[in-house]
């Protein structure tokens, strides 16, 4: 059994798509599907007997060309079956055929308007293209005659069309070839004139030379740019360095800048390598640098010697000795020379930086000019090549059209197309109406219409049927369901079903409902439960009576109050007197304790409706109903109140609006419309709705698959009752008897196995 929801309902998967839902709907409305199927089958049978019969004549036509005489392009297809199909279906051709046959067949067929047969054409697979032509009419001899004349007309028309098409295509191709010849001649003249005006040969030679020289300039510019970047990066670090370091840096920088991107040599504008000018300049500068470094080294050696001499003199002479002063003066002179040499080297680097910048600007200017010249030469060459491509394109098109014209003329002379029709065959038996096709169409149409009508009926049906209708559409918790008790008459009698000997299934169903209801009441700390419905005949009184008995059997003291003051029936179900009752207490102002009667069931007490009245609504509004119930609240564990239907009288609305207890709503499955329930719930908007109980779930019918899916936890109770285990049931006359065993033991075993398989595969019971 499924656990209750936190909100009070039974847990189940929402929005679950399962084929069993749709299969259940189909089974639930099987009568509608069967009716549609039978009407479609009846229509098919009538059509088979009343429809006029048709006979058919057919033949196959092979259309091909001799492969030894095929001169078209490789892979080309000569014959188009679509064209032949269109021509054979042409209405004008059919009129010509009918005209040729009118004299011989018009009187025999009843007039010219009856001479138009049905024509069907299809392609047939084979080595060569083939068409199958079928003619259907009411006279089998006429079908053969019509088909023969049709083939003759088609062959004549096809030859005429081919001849006209060849003539038209040949003339058009010749005009196009003449136009292409004129265009080729004009394009060649334009090419020669352009070549003469722009001296294309010299432009190409100069363009090649300019491209090479432009590449040499770009390479030189990259070398100068590299050396400039190195000098700009090294200048801040050379402040305070000696002449030797500055000279080495200058030499390394110059060597790095002269590194080439590839192994190619610089070229002159004439395209010849530039002589080794850079090598000579570099050698001369290297010699000067080496000489300067050598002088610097000599000065440093001399400085070291003087410093050593000064150190020796300081040991034997005083600081103001003339000899010592002379040495010091000489040391200062040498240091000044060294600093001057370093400054000179640094200024040389700065001068080289300025010279490189000037040279770089000059090279860039020259490069831009050479680029402009090279661009002009490239544009002239591109225009020359474009004119050449135009001539080539015209010539290619001319060659293609010339080849096609030649092939077409050769094929016209060869006349290699053949029509080979097979012998015309006529069926002795009518081909229509076809019983198999018509019955299959009736089967498909009848079932399709039936299924569509079943789904449409399900969609437009607004009666409450499923848990989703309760919780999704109505928006109240689902507390449980009570099956429809088949073969017993229980649905038409209000009596304590759960106390009768045969009611094993009923006990289990109401036991599940009792568990859900008491759990919700305990959560809300309530002891009073008002039981109502939208309209009569929905089972609210039966539900109130049996759930009160089930709670009393738990050992709880239960008071069952009949507040259906105009139509109270609980006293008859339990064999009690109606008077005195609730109406007497309300009218005379007494206490509810005065009319409570013990039932024959232990722990169950009943307050009957009392004498009949017509002004129950006015009576309930003039008394303190809350005080009426609170006077006995401490004497009982639970108080169940059977109230009147909401839409019949206003008694229940008056009771619920005074905040007394919780309201349990009862709805009969497939009986109560959802708008009616929604309207009655709107009337109880001030009441505390505990939940809804679905009554009379029809598990026993052919719709059991649908209901077993929607109410999986109650399928067991219905099956246990309907197919029970040697218990009693009420027959149609109200008496009791024992259900007899049916069939042999083997048949019973097979039925049980089949039923178990159906439950396992189609009923998702837990």
Distance in angstroms (rounded) separating the CA atoms of residues 674 and 464: 5
119-123, 451-455, 579-583, 716-720: least confident range: 716-720
CB 595 within 8 A of CB 608: yes
pLDDT in tens, 49-59: 888 888 888 88
Residue 581: pLDDT band by 50, 70, 90 thresholds? confident
Check residue 637 and give its pLDDT.
92
> What's the CA gap between 667 and 675, in Å, rounded?
12
* Confidence label for 641 from pLDDT (cuts 50, 70 and 90): very high
The full DSSP string for 432-461 is BS-HHHHHHHHHHHHHHHHHHHHHHHHHH-
pLDDT (average), residues 744-750 = 62
Token output for 160: 């005429």
Counting DSSP H helices and E strands in the chain, the numbers are: 22, 15
Strands (E), 20-81: 55-65
Kindly report which listed range (242-256, 508-522, 651-665) carries the lowest average pLDDT score: 242-256
Higher pLDDT, 505 or 662: 662
Task: Note the helical H segments in 604-664.
Answer: 616-622, 625-630, 651-657
Residue 618 banded pLDDT, cuts 50, 70, 90: confident
Is residue 717 very low, low, confident or very high in pLDDT (cuts 50, 70, 90)? very low
Which tens digit of pLDDT belongs to each residue from 541-551? 888 998 999 89
How far the first Cα of the chain sits from its last, in Å, is 7
Question: In which residue are the tokens 């032949």 written?
Answer: 84
Is the per-residue pLDDT at 553 higher than 60?
A: yes
> pLDDT at position 752, please?
64
Q: Does residue 76 have a cis bond before it (omega within 30 degrees)?
A: no
Please say whether the beta carbons of 252 and 286 come within 8 A.
no
Task: With cut-offs at 50, 70 and 90, classify the pLDDT of residue 413.
Answer: low
Task: Taking each helix axis as running N to C, give the angle between helix 540-552 and helix 504-523, from 0 to 180 degrees, rounded to the nearest 10.
Answer: 80
CATH code: domain 478-723 is: 3.40.50.300
Give me the pLDDT at residue 557, please: 93
In this predicted structure, what is the pLDDT of residue 183? 86
Q: What are the φ/ψ torsions at residue 755 (nearest 5 degrees)? A: -65, -40
Residue 720: what pLDDT? 41
In whole angstroms, what is the distance from residue 521 CA to residue 132 CA?
A: 81
pLDDT the model gives residue 266: 46
State the average pLDDT over residues 604-613: 88
Secondary-structure percent of the chain, ordered helix, strand, coil, rounded to 5: 60, 10, 25
Dihedral over Cα of 346, 352, 358, 363: its sign: negative
CA distances from 314 to 301, 308, 321, 333, 595 (A): 20, 10, 9, 19, 144
Question: What is the average pLDDT across 224-233?
Answer: 78
Q: Which two tokens stand for residue 57?
A: 């004549």
| Interval 246-270 mean pLDDT | 62
More confident of the two residues 749 and 736? 749
Higher pLDDT, 527 or 274: 527
Degrees to nearest 5, angle at CA 257 with 253 and 261: 150
Work out the pLDDT band at 68, boundaries 50, 70, 90: low
> In the prediction, which pLDDT does 471 show?
80
Q: Are 582 and 561 in contact (CB under 8 A)?
A: yes
Helix (H) or strand (E) run with residue 123 in it: strand 118-124
In the DSSP assignment, the letter for residue 269 is T
Across 9-39, b (16+ Cβ under 10 Å) vs e yields bbebeeeeeeebbeebbbbbbeebbeebbee
Is the confidence at residue 305, as pLDDT, over 80?
yes
Task: Give the pair of three-digit tokens for residue 88.
Answer: 């054979």
pLDDT reading at 715 higher than 70: no
Higher pLDDT, 737 or 190: 190
Provide the CA 736 distance to its chain's centre, in angstroms. 60
Res. 177: pLDDT tops 80: yes
Calpha distance 169→405 (Å, rounded): 8
Cβ neighbours for 360, distance < 8 A, ≥ 6 positions apart? 221, 224, 225, 228
Multiple choice CATH, 55-177+416-426, 3.30.160, 3.30.1600, 3.30.70, 1.10.10: 3.30.70
The residue among 319 and 736 whose pLDDT is bigger is 319
Band of residue 606 on the pLDDT scale cut at 50, 70, 90: very high
Distance CA 646, CA 684 (A): 8
- Confidence (pLDDT) at 34: 86
559 confidence band (pLDDT: 50, 70, 90): very high
DSSP output for 456-500: HHHHH--B--SHHIIIIII-S-EEEEEE--TTTTGGG--S-GGGS
Are the CB atoms for 219 and 266 separated by under 8 Å? Answer: yes
Burial class of residue 330 (count of CB atoms within 10 Å of its CB; 0-12, 13-18, 19+): middle
Question: What confidence score (pLDDT) does residue 201 get?
Answer: 66
Query: What pLDDT sits at residue 286?
Result: 66
DSSP label at residue 422: P
Q: What is the pLDDT of residues 374-410, one digit of tens each?
A: 777 777 778 888 888 888 888 888 888 888 877 776 6
Find the mean pLDDT for residues 435-452: 88
Beta-bridged to residue 463, according to DSSP, are 673
Average pLDDT over residues 683-689: 86
In 10 A of CB 628, how many CB atoms?
20
CA nearest to 584, candidates 605, 606, 612, 560: 612
Structure tokens at 51: 């429809």
Confidence (pLDDT) at 745: 55
User: Are the beta carbons of 625 and 530 closer than 8 angstroms?
Assistant: no
pTM value?
0.46
The Cα–Cα gap between 327 and 315 comes to 14
Distance CA 617, CA 649 (A): 8
The predicted-structure confidence for 335-383, as pLDDT tens digits, reads as follows 888 778 777 777 877 777 787 788 778 777 877 777 776 777 777 778 8
| Residue scoring higher pLDDT (431 or 488) | 431
Q: Please, what is the average pLDDT of the chain?
A: 76
Residues 597 and 577: beta-carbon distance below 8 Å: yes
Q: Which of 150-154, 465-469, 488-492, 678-682 has the lowest mean pLDDT?
A: 488-492
Instruction: Kindly indicate the confidence band of residue 604, based on its pLDDT and cuts at 50, 70 and 90.
Output: very high
Residue-wise pLDDT tens digits, 123-169: 887 666 788 899 888 888 888 899 889 988 888 888 787 777 667 76
CA 444 to chain CA centroid, Å, is 30
Q: Is the pLDDT of residue 640 over 90?
A: yes
Q: Is the separation of the CB atoms in 678 and 475 below 8 Å?
A: no
């Amino acid at each position: 059994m499924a656990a209750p929801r936190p909100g009070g309902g039974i847990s189940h998967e929402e929005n679950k798509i399962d084929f069993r839902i749709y299969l259940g709907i189909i089974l639930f409305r099987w009568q509608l599907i069967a009716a549609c199927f039978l009407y479609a089958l009846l229509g098919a049978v009538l059509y088979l007997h009343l429809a006029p019969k048709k006979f058919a004549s057919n033949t196959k036509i092979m259309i091909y060309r001799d492969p030894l005489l095929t001169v078209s392009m490789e892979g080309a297809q000569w014959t188009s079956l679509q064209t032949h199909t269109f021509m054979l279906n042409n209405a004008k051709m059919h009129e010509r055929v009918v005209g040729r046959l009118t004299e011989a067949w018009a009187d025999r067929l009843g007039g010219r308007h009856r001479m138009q047969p049905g024509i069907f054409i299809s392609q047939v697979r084979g080595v060569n293209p083939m068409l199958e032509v079928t003619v259907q009419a009411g006279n089998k001899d006429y079908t053969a005659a019509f088909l023969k004349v049709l083939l003759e007309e088609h062959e004549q028309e096809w030859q005429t069309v081919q001849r006209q098409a060849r003539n038209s295509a040949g003339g058009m191709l010749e005009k196009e070839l003449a136009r292409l010849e004129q265009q080729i001649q004009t394009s060649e003249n334009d090419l020669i004139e352009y070549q003469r005006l722009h001296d294309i040969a010299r432009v190409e030679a100069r363009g090649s030379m300019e491209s090479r020289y432009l590449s040499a300039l770009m390479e030189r510019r990259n070398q100068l740019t590299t050396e400039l970047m190195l000098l700009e990066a090294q200048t801040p670090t050379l402040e305070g360095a000696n002449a030797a370091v500055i000279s080495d840096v200058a030499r390394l920088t110059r060597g790095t800048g002269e590194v080439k991107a590839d192994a190619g040599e610089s070229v002159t504008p004439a395209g010849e390598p530039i002589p080794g000018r850079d090598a000579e300049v570099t050698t001369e500068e290297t010699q000067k640098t080496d000489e300067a470094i050598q002088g610097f080294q000599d000065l440093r050696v001399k400085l070291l010697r003087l410093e050593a001499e000064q150190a020796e003199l300081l040991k034997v002479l005083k600081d103001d000795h003339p000899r010592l002063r002379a040495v010091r003066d000489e040391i200062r002179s040498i240091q000044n020379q060294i600093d001057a040499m370093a400054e000179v080297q640094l200024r040389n680097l700065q001068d080289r930086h300025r010279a490189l910048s000037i040279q770089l600007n000059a090279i860039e200017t020259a490069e831009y000019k050479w680029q402009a010249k090279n661009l002009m030469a490239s544009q002239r060459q591109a225009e020359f090549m474009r004119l050449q491509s135009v001539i080539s394109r015209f010539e290619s098109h001319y060659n293609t059209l010339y080849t096609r014209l030649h092939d077409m003329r050769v094929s016209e002379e060869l006349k290699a197309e053949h029509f080979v029709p097979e012998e015309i065959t006529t069926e002795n038996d009518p081909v229509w109406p076809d019983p198999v096709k018509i019955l299959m169409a009736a089967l498909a149409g009848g079932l399709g219409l039936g299924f569509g009508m079943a789904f449409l009926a399900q969609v437009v049906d607004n009666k409450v049927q499923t848990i989703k209708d309760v919780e999704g559409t109505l928006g109240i918790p689902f507390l449980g369901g009570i099956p429809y008790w088949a073969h017993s008459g229980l649905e038409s009698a209000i009596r304590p079903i759960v106390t009768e000997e045969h009611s094993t299934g009923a006990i289990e169903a109401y036991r599940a409902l009792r568990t859900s209801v008491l759990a919700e009441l305990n959560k809300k700390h309530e002891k009073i439960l008002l039981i109502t419905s939208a309209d009569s005949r929905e089972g609210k009184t039966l539900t109130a009576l049996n759930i009160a008995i089930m709670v009393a059997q738990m050992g709880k003291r239960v008071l069952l109050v009949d507040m259906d003051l105009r139509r109270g029936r609980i006293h008859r179900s339990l064999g009690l007197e109606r008077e005195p009752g609730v109406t007497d207490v309300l009218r005379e102002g007494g206490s509810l304790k005065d009319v409570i009667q013990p039932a024959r069931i232990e722990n169950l007490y009943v307050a009957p409706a009392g004498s009949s009245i017509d002004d129950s609504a006015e009576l309930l509004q003039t008394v303190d109903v809350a005080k009426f119930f609170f006077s006995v609240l401490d004497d009982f564990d639970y108080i169940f109140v059977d109230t009147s239907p909401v839409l019949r009288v206003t008694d229940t609305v008056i009771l619920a609006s005074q905040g007394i207890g919780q309201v349990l709503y009862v709805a009969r499955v497939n009986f109560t419309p959802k708008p009616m329930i929604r309207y009655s719930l709107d009337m109880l908007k001030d009441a505390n709705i505990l939940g809804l109980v679905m009554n009379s779930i029809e598990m026993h019918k052919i719709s059991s698959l649908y209901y077993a899916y929607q109410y999986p936890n109650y399928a067991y109770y219905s099956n246990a009752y309907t197919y029970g285990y040697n218990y009693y049931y009420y027959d149609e006359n109200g008496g009791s008897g024992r259900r007899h065993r049916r069939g042999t033991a083997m048949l019973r075993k097979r039925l049980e196995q089949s039923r178990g398989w159906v439950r396992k595969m189609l009923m998702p019971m837990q």
